[in-house]
Structure 1
Amino acid sequence: MKRRSFVKGSLISGAAAAVAPTIAMAQPDKPPYVEHYDLRVYTFKDERQQKITEDFFRDVYVPMIKKQIYEPVGVFTELNPVGQTKLYVLVPYNTYVNYEVLNFRLETDKEYWANGAAFLNAPASDPAFERMDTSLLRAFMHMRMKQLPPREQRIFELRQYKSATEAAGKKKIEMFNDKGEIDIFKRLGFNPVFFGETIFGNDRPNLTYMVTFKDMEDKAAHWKAFVDDPEWKKISAVPEYADALLVSKITSTMLVPTSYSGI
């Protein structure tokens, strides 16, 4: 009887030892932690659609996120829209697990669905928006967490660098992470909010980041300082980091925060 117990215990211990490494590897977001960002862009055909969507984010979604995961939600309109403005929404998550947990909670929250019905249950014949593009981004290791800019008059620039290949995209990220490009942004006072690699979304591979200025004149002055910076010239002069090799398209969008934006 004792021998059977010993054999049984040995088998269980052996199995546990074999499974343990697998479990350890499966645990998400082991240190060092990096944030993830849900970036959404809503397109409208008229002011009515924009109002329904903004009412939802101001009165329902933003308060719910603060309550559920204690994160500020950035909500922005275009500085100089062509026609009806688009609405940009940035939702930070301190770990990827929180992204999954939050979506599960919202799906099962009756109060959320009731309060947000005008947006969430808008009829197909009269939708709350024409299109929603969404991307999930993973923060760069050299800036693993967002940095909130001062609460003052400010405009934001959302920039995206698209690459033709996965290898080129990784090489461009290397410039930010390992070669000091992020440090240049910080040193020159760009007040970067985040840098992220798009892991799900459109136009991959790409990287996306957000920087902050007082106004358009301030933006022009900062970018001139960046182009003239000796450290940037040194990095960009390396043949393997030439934009012609690494970047196929650059998109820049100027944004202003809404009155209820947390960023």
Structure 2
Amino acid sequence: MIHELRVYHCVPGRLPALLQRFENVTLQLWERHGIRQAGFWTVGIGETNQALYYLLAWESLAEREAKWNAFIADPEWLAKRAESERDGPILERVANQILIPTAFSAVR
């Protein structure tokens, strides 16, 4: 099992719109595409409170490539994303990393 850490840095003030999009749109589409989330976090104390951190769980990089590419090309996703950004962009930038568990990790 590998995990992907994604960090969505929001345009100031747009984090609520991103959270709403995940809760009402994205998660249902992920379920349809077989994308498994391992958790979501916002920052309570730290450098910025305008970011969303989340982990995705993948069996392999090949699974990630197939499922992620299908999701980002989904016409429903493209329409809903555009609709959620009608008041302006939500994201300033996105960072992601593929994490590989160590031999002593509790999460495998």
* Aligned position for 2:82: 237
Bigger relative contact order, structure 1 or 2, given CA contacts below 8 A and separation 6+?
A: 2
In 2, are the aligned partners of 1:175 and 1:241 still within 8 Å (CA)? no
What SS does the aligned partner of 1:234 have?
helix
Q: Per residue, is there more helix in 1 or in 2?
A: 1
Q: Per residue, is there more strand in 1 or in 2?
A: 2
Structure 1 counterpart of 2:76, which letter?
Answer: E
What SS does the aligned partner of 2:100 have?
strand
Scaled by the length of structure 2, the TM-score of the pair is 0.84
User: Residue 254 in 1 paired to residue 95 in 2?
Assistant: no
Shift of 1:192: 0.8
Question: Which 5+ residue runs of structure 2 have no aligned equivalent?
Answer: none
In 1, are the aligned partners of 2:42 and 2:49 still within 8 Å (CA)? no
Instruction: Find 1:227's aligned residue among 72, 80, 83.
Output: 72
In 1, are the aligned partners of 2:9 and 2:92 still within 8 Å (CA)? yes
Shift of 1:259: 2.4
What are the equivalent positions in structure 2 for 1:191-206 lying under 5 Å apart?
Answer: 191-206=36-51
> For residues 219 and 253 of structure 1, what CA distance do their matches in structure 2 show?
12
Structure 2 counterpart of 1:182, which letter?
Answer: L
Shift of 1:202: 2.5
> For residues 39 and 4 of structure 2, what CA distance do their matches in structure 1 show?
11
Identity, in percent, stands at 24
* Aligned position for 1:169: 15
Instruction: Find 2:62's aligned residue among 217, 223, 226.
Output: 217
In 2, are the aligned partners of 1:162 and 1:204 still within 8 Å (CA)? no
| Larger gyration radius, structure 1 or structure 2 | 1
Question: Which 5+ residue runs of structure 1 have no aligned equivalent?
Answer: 1-153
> For residues 187 and 214 of structure 1, what CA distance do their matches in structure 2 show?
17
- Deviation track 1:132-176 (CA, whole Å, cap 9, x = no partner) reads xxxxxxxxxxxxxxxxxxxxxx211000001131x2111111101
Structure 2 counterpart of 1:253, which letter?
Answer: Q
Structure 2 counterpart of 1:160, which letter?
Answer: V
Scaled by the length of structure 1, the TM-score of the pair is 0.37
> For residues 197 and 226 of structure 1, what CA distance do their matches in structure 2 show?
23
> For residues 262 and 241 of structure 1, what CA distance do their matches in structure 2 show?
38
In 2, are the aligned partners of 1:186 and 1:192 still within 8 Å (CA)? no
Aligned residues, how many?
A: 106
In 1, are the aligned partners of 2:7 and 2:53 still within 8 Å (CA)? yes
Q: From the superposition, tell whether residues 186 and 259 of structure 1 become closer, same or farther in structure 2 (CA, over 3 Å).
A: farther
In 1, are the aligned partners of 2:58 and 2:64 still within 8 Å (CA)? yes
In 2, are the aligned partners of 1:194 and 1:209 still within 8 Å (CA)? yes
Structure 1 counterpart of 2:105, which letter?
Answer: S
User: Residue 180 in 1 paired to residue 15 in 2?
Assistant: no
